[in-house]
Each structure stands twice: as structure tokens, then as C-alpha cells.
């Protein structure tokens, strides 16, 4: 038994699963930076290898199911500590049982993974709900090009799980007319989407990949004010219920929500 340390990538994790079968049984899998050496097992740093990762990837899809593979990937996007070991246990059980694993909701290996998947799914849902775009213009573009052409939708968000890629398709499809950027501030990366296509890349929040800076458009402020006004006036005073509001819209998202003015505490 041995603890495997990996580099934090999905491929790295799959490589560790490979080593579990072909090198030494894994006691657990941990990200390299966060590992605290254990008294019980030795540890080994695993070099990520594409071909080994690909073999595990395909094996999960063929021997368990495509659904299981998607679950594993979603669970990997979670921010919960120990997710790697949960995934390992699920995959090991899956190789023994096969596709039927999807219906064994009460097995701890399955239940724990489903729990992670559910939380990641919820976080993705919250992205669809709470992303707030600002209409931006590329600096200097206003004079030369046609008006409207240089419009960019830009949103900042800090999701707990790494769900940018899961939410990207929804936004890319919905707002295919305008280029858009959804910026995960905590992870310094962003989705860039235009005309239905999208990719994820590193982003500092100021400069576009081609080096131009982006600035708020002229009427952005007034639409934000209109939205805040609407938000205040749609509430029925006699039914005021802050607990219900916060249950649905946890305060940790308020920072980037236009209608609550980026407050961190309700007024």
C-alpha cells in the first residue's frame, strides 16, 4: 500500500489509478502540494503520463460506462478534500461490478461519489443563475470599428468548484452573438466564447489574449441601476423573509451580484 501524489490534473489522477493496478495498491491519492506524509504508508510522486491516463479513461468508459466516466470527471471538479480517494474507490468497485454500479446508490463508494457529483452539479447550476455580465468594450476599438461590433460580455465569479467548463456550453450557445468572458477570479482563468465555440484559458481580468484591455461600456452603469431598482421594487414588503432569500442565494455569491451591489452582507 502506498500513497500516490499527483499534479492536480485529471490525467495525473488517472495515471495514479493506472499505477494502482500495475505498480502498487494505492492507499490514497493526494495532490502534491497538500500532502502530509502518513506514518502508515510510504508515498510516491507520480509523473503524469498521457498514454497511461488514456488507457484508464477508455477502460472506465468501456468496462463501467460512459455515465460513470462523466460522474468521475464531475467529482474531480469538486473542491472537497479527499475527492481523489473517493474516485479511486468508486473506479475500483466499478471495474469489479461493471455498469450496474450506477444503481447501487446505497454502497458507500457510490454514495460518496454521487454526493460530490451532486455538489458540483449544484455549483454549475449556480453559475447559470448568478453569473452577471457587464457589457464591455475593447479599449480603443470604439473609434475605428462599427458600433456594437466590439461589445464584449464580461462576468466575474468565484465558484467553489471548478465548474467553468461545465457551464461554458450554456452561455456560449445562449449569447452566441457577442463574444463573452466568464472569469473565475479565484482560479485566474476564464471561459472565452464566441459564436457557439468556447475554450478555457488563463486570464488576469484586464487583458484579452491578444493584449487589448477591456473597459465598461457607456450605458453599463445605467442598466445596472435599472436592474437594482427593479430588484428593490419587486419585493413585497409584507412578505420580507431574509432567511428564505439567503437559503436560495447564499451570501458568498453576493460579492459579484449586481442587484445586491456587491455587498457581502444583506442590508
Partner 1 sequence: MEEILMQKLQILADSAKYDVSCSSSGSSRAAAGRMGNGHMAGICHSWSADGRCVSLLKVLFTNKCVYNCEYCVNKRTNDFPRASFEPDELARLTIEFYKRNYIEGLFLSSAVEVSPDYTAERILQCLELLRYKYGFAGYIHAKIIPGVSPEILHRIGLVADRLSVNIEMPSSKSLAAFAPQKKPKQIFAPMRQITNTLIETRSLKGPGTMFKGQRLNTEANYLGPMGLEENVMGQADESDPGADLPVLARAAGAPAARGKGTFAAAGQTTQMIIGAGGETDAGILATSENLYRTFKMKRVYYSAYIPVVDSPILPDKQTAPPLKREHRIYQADWLLRFYGFTVSELFRSGGENLDPDLDPKVTWALRNLDLFPMEINTASYEELMRIPGIGHKSAKRIMHQRRFAAVRFDDLKKMGVVVKRAKYFLLCCGRYYGNRLFEPETIRNSLLQMESGLQLSMFDNDWKRIEEGERQEKLAAAGVI
By CB under 8 A, name the binding residues for partner 1: 100, 103-106, 111, 128-135, 153, 155, 170-171, 173-178, 222-223, 225-227, 229-245, 247-249, 257-259, 266
C-alpha cell at 211: 493584449
Strands 189-194 and 197-202: antiparallel
Closest CB to partner 1 among residues 67, 227:
227
In this complex, which beta carbon is closest to partner 1, that of residue 177 or of residue 207? 177
Taking the complex as a whole, how short is the minimal distance between the CB of residue 2 and partner 1, in angstroms?
A: 31
Minimal CA–CA distance to 8: which of 60, 78, 71? 78
Q: Which is nearer to partner 1, 144 or 242 (CB)?
A: 242
Closest approach of partner 1 to the CB of residue 219, in Å: 8
In the complex, the smallest distance separating the C-beta of residue 134 from partner 1, rounded to whole angstroms, is: 7
CA separation, residue 71 to residues 4, 106, 173, 181 (Å): 22, 16, 23, 26
Q: How far is the CB of 135 from partner 1 (least distance, A)?
A: 7
Sheet of 189-194: strands edge to edge? 197-202, 189-194, 180-184, 151-157, 134-138, 214-216
- Residue closer to partner 1 by CB (options 19, 132) is 132
Taking the C-alpha atoms of residue 69 and residue 222, their distance in angstroms, rounded to an integer, is 46
Cell numbers placing 158: 468565484
Q: Is 62 exposed, middle or buried (0-12, 13-18, 19+ CB in 10 A)?
A: exposed
Q: In 68-133, at which residue ranges do the beta strands (DSSP E only) sit?
A: none
Give min distance, CB of 80 to partner 1, in A.
Answer: 17
- Nearest distance in Å: CB 216, partner 1: 12
Comparison of 14 and 120: residue with beta carbon closer to partner 1: 120
Spatial CB neighbours of 152, under 8 Å, sequence gap ≥ 6: 135, 136, 137, 138, 178, 179, 180, 181, 214
- Residue nearer to partner 1 on the CB measure, 3 or 112: 112
Amino acid at each position: 500500500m502506498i500513497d500516490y501524489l499527483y499534479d492536480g490534473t485529471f490525467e495525473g489522477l488517472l495515471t495514479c489509478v493506472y499505477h494502482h493496478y500495475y505498480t502498487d495498491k494505492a492507499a490514497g491519492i493526494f495532490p502534491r502540494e497538500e500532502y502530509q506524509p502518513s506514518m502508515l504508508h510510504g508515498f510516491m510522486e507520480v509523473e503524469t503520463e498521457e498514454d497511461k491516463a488514456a488507457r484508464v479513461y477508455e477502460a472506465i468508459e468501456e468496462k463501467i460506462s460512459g455515465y460513470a466516466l462523466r460522474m468521475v470527471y464531475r467529482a474531480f471538479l469538486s473542491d472537497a478534500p479527499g475527492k481523489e480517494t473517493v474516485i479511486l474507490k468508486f473506479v475500483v468497485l466499478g471495474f469489479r461490478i461493471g455498469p450496474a454500479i450506477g444503481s447501487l446508490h446505497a454502497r458507500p463508494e457510490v454514495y460518496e461519489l454521487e454526493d460530490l457529483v451532486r455538489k458540483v452539479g449544484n455549483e454549475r447550476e449556480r453559475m447559470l443563475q448568478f453569473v452577471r455580465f457587464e457589457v464591455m468594450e475593447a479599449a480603443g476599438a470604439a473609434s475605428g470599428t462599427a458600433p456594437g461590433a466590439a461589445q464584449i460580455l464580461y462576468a466575474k465569479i468565484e465558484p467553489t468548484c471548478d465548474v467553468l467548463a461545465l457551464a461554458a456550453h450554456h452561455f456560449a450557445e445562449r449569447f452566441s452573438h457577442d463574444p463573452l468572458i466568464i472569469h473565475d477570479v479565484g482560479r485566474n482563468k476564464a471561459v472565452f466564447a464566441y459564436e457557439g465555440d468556447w475554450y478555457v484559458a488563463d486570464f488576469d481580468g484586464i487583458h484579452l489574449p491578444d493584449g487589448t484591455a477591456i473597459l465598461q461600456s457607456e450605458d453599463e452603469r445605467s442598466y445596472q441601476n435599472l436592474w437594482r431598482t427593479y430588484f428593490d421594487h419587486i419585493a413585497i414588503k409584507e412578505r420580507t423573509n431574509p432567511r428564505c432569500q439567503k437559503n436560495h442565494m447564499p451570501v458568498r455569491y453576493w460579492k459579484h451580484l449586481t442587484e445586491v451591489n456587491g455587498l457581502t452582507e444583506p442590508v
